[in-house]
Structure 1
Amino acid sequence: MNFTTGIVLPTTLALAAAAAITNLWLSIRIGALRQKHKVSVGDGGNEAIQRRMRAQLNFAENTFLVLVLVAAIELSGHGGWWLPLVALAYAVGRILHGLGMDGGKLQWGRMVGTLVTMLTLVGLAGVAAWLAFQYS
């Protein structure tokens, strides 16, 4: 395919696709519990539903910022080989967080996902700030 008519951001596109699928997966997990516990709207006071809802909201709260930072860095031409690895680590971290929010044997995934998210945000923000300083 020839993409000479526009700018292509492969890392951003891949992360956005992964984020869309992850968000759908998180939503389906909530729906499954709502159906199981016969809760039509909200969480019905059910802690398991609350945990899954919070996992999805936490995902949405952080993923937008990560996508913006990845896109900005990629647009600047400074993404390089490391940016797809950061995006992949973030995507895996968010899946682990979603699973870990259920508690049980995978509870450790919550902390790992949280740590990966924080490190990703700090690292990407640092790179973006450095690039902004370089261009000012």
Structure 2
Amino acid sequence: MYILPIYAALCGVLFFYLSVRTIGLRRKLKIGIGASDNHEMLRAMRVHSNFAEYVPIVLILIYLVEVQGGAKFLIHALGLCLLLGRSIHAYGVSQLKEKFVFRVTGMVMTFTAMLTSCVFLIFKYFTV
């Protein structure tokens, strides 16, 4: 049984939440497209977009690690790193008075999952 699907599903739930939150804010602020110079709307859009930009590629990389024989512990560590990283980042960037520690921590965790997967896959390619 594969491990990654639970992390993909949890990321999907988080993406759904960010989508609904952004749509709700659009309705509340009566902003159809763009941010209309509203900082709250811009932050919600960037949180949603940033999630959409990073999560698919990292999930694909983790999937490849899993099918290439990555240890169960590694798959769990990568999945948790991605999920928690994106959650922390979303929280931080959503705050109008942002504390950058959340953004930075979220990005470090996301990049850790991404680069660890890449290193594993490159190493695996050259050692098989």
Does the pair score TM above 0.5?
Answer: yes
2:10 alignment counterpart: 18
Once the two structures are superposed, residues 34-54 of structure 1 have per-residue CA deviations (whole angstroms, 9 ceiling, x without a partner) of 122111233222121111111
Residues 65-115 of structure 1: per-residue CA shift (max 9 Å, x gap): 111111111111223322212211210110111111123366532111111
**Structure 1 Cα separation of the partners of residues 77 and 60 of structure 2:** 16
Matching residue within 15, 32, 35 for 1:40:
32
Counterparts of 2:71 and 2:50 in 1: how far apart (Å)?
26
State the TM-score, normalizing by the size of structure 1: 0.84
Equivalent pair of 1:99/1:107 in contact (CA under 8 Å): no
C-alpha distance in structure 1 between counterparts of 2:125 and 2:40, whole Å: 43
Q: Which residue of 1 aligns with 2:124?
A: 131
Measure, in 1, the Cα distance between the counterparts of 2:104 and 2:27. Answer: 28
Root-mean-square deviation over aligned CA pairs: 1.6
Any gaps of 5 or more consecutive residues in structure 2? none
Greater share of helix: 2
1:28 to 12, 17, 20: 20
2: CA distance, partners of 1:115 / 1:72: 21
Give yes or no for contact 2:81–2:112 (8 Å, CA) kept in 1: no
SS of the residue 1:17 aligns to: helix
User: For this pair of structures, how many residues does the alignment match?
Assistant: 127
CA distance in 2, matches of 1:51, 1:76: 37
Q: Classify the secondary structure of the residue corresponding to 1:42.
A: coil
- Indicate whether 1:115 and 2:108 are aligned: yes
CA distance in 1 between counterparts of 2:75 and 2:4 reads 9
